[in-house]
Amino acid sequence: MTDPVHAVLVAGSGLILAATAGLNHATEAATDAAGNLTHLQQVAVQVAVLLVAALVLGGLYLLACAIWPYANCGRCNGQGKSRSPSGKKFRNCPRCKGTGRRKRIGRRLLDHRATNR
């Protein structure tokens, strides 16, 4: 995993999984002391945990896109060149225009938000 954005997201998801396990343990302890939670209340807790996890991961992704706005181009694998079918000739990649880099989706969202204020 050489991409720093993926490293941030994997670390963030690991922290969220650990927090979710702790929350599930706390919920089980609360149900033993105060009685049983209904199925609807358990589902509501699970949905709340998922929403918080999605917000945290989304925030981490946008933060990582602000720090590392570019990624390797998927068409040319970061080389900036497209080869002919014979493999002898090449030209600049039409997607990245020969730079080998592309803007991440999150960075495009941040740029769009900044220009349309």
Q: Is 39 helix (H, G, I), strand (E, B) or coil?
A: helix
What tens-digit pLDDT sequence spans the chain (117 residues)?
A: 467 666 766 777 676 667 666 666 655 655 555 557 777 877 888 888 889 989 999 999 999 999 999 999 988 888 988 888 887 888 899 899 999 999 999 999 999 989 987
> How many other CB atoms are found less than 10 A from the CB of residue 3?
13
- Please state, in angstroms and rounded to a whole number, the distance separating the CA atoms of residues 117 and 106: 17
Containing 111, the helix (H) or strand (E) segment is: helix 105-115
Backbone angles phi, psi at 71, to 5 degrees: -130, 170
pTM listed for this prediction: 0.64
How many residues would you count in the chain?
Answer: 117
Tokens 């079918």 -> residue: 85
- Please state, in angstroms and rounded to a whole number, the distance separating the CA atoms of residues 103 and 107: 6
